[in-house]
Amino acid sequence: MVVSNIDLTDELNALKPSQFLESSIKDTTININSEYRYLKTGYYVSLHAEVLGSKVIPSCENIIDSSRTPILLLRAARAKIPTMPFLVTDSVKKITDELQLPVVVFAVNPFIYSGYQVAKNKSALYRALKSLGMNYKFTVCAQPLTGEMYTVKSFLGKCQMEDEQISAITEKVYELFRIPVCKLHVQKAGEKAFLCGLEPLKENELSKSDLEIISKEIMLISQQDEHLSV
């Protein structure tokens, strides 16, 4: 069964989240959503499926873990996915002492999910900590910037970027977290790519070709139950 807030091909017969949440259908569920954040519709779809006892991708645990950059990176590193070293702190001094500049800064607080900021000097770093830490109320996740940052769309582990390293990371992140639709932030340093972060992919960022890719991948997965293991 496919539940989606995204307009997929008619062949999939996807249920809208509102229909699914009012039902008691117990079946293997593929939850396609542009927003999986905690307490958002995508999260509730997975929670409803789990309460019914259904196998679902993504699971609530993976939704929460993937949305918190430090947890995302810890789990990824344990799964042998290349990551950069990182610090979770609210101290500019600690970041400059341990990582040096420039750095990439991600929010850790639960209210900011949009991208990252690059700090090439202390002034920019102070601004990043104030902005992403909501006036220093929360810590941030800082990572060294030694290469070039890329943001790629991930559709059930597939990306359209012709880079073997980045494509491999996209596939591995999906295998680990099972987030069907998202953006990945990846740093390419030399010939190696490193996972840096993950964020929701807004519905208005999806092109017609993106929807075709998602629909095609769902059709393939629906025919192979082993890919639904969580």
Residue 212 and residue 226: Cα distance in Å, rounded? Answer: 23
Residue 190 main-chain phi, psi, to 5 deg? 70, -130
pLDDT at 225: 55
pLDDT at 229: 47
pLDDT at 59: 96
* 3-state class (DSSP) for residue 68: coil
Give 10-residue mean pLDDT values along the chain (230 residues): 85 88 92 88 96 95 95 98 96 95 92 86 96 90 97 93 93 97 95 95 88 87 57
pLDDT at 34: 87
pLDDT at 224: 66
What would you measure as the largest C-alpha separation in the chain, in angstroms? 56
- Per-residue pLDDT tens digits for 48-92: 999 999 999 999 999 999 999 999 999 999 999 999 999 999 999
**Burial class, 190, CB count within 10 angstroms (exposed 0-12 / middle 13-18 / buried 19+):** exposed
pTM, 2 dp: 0.91
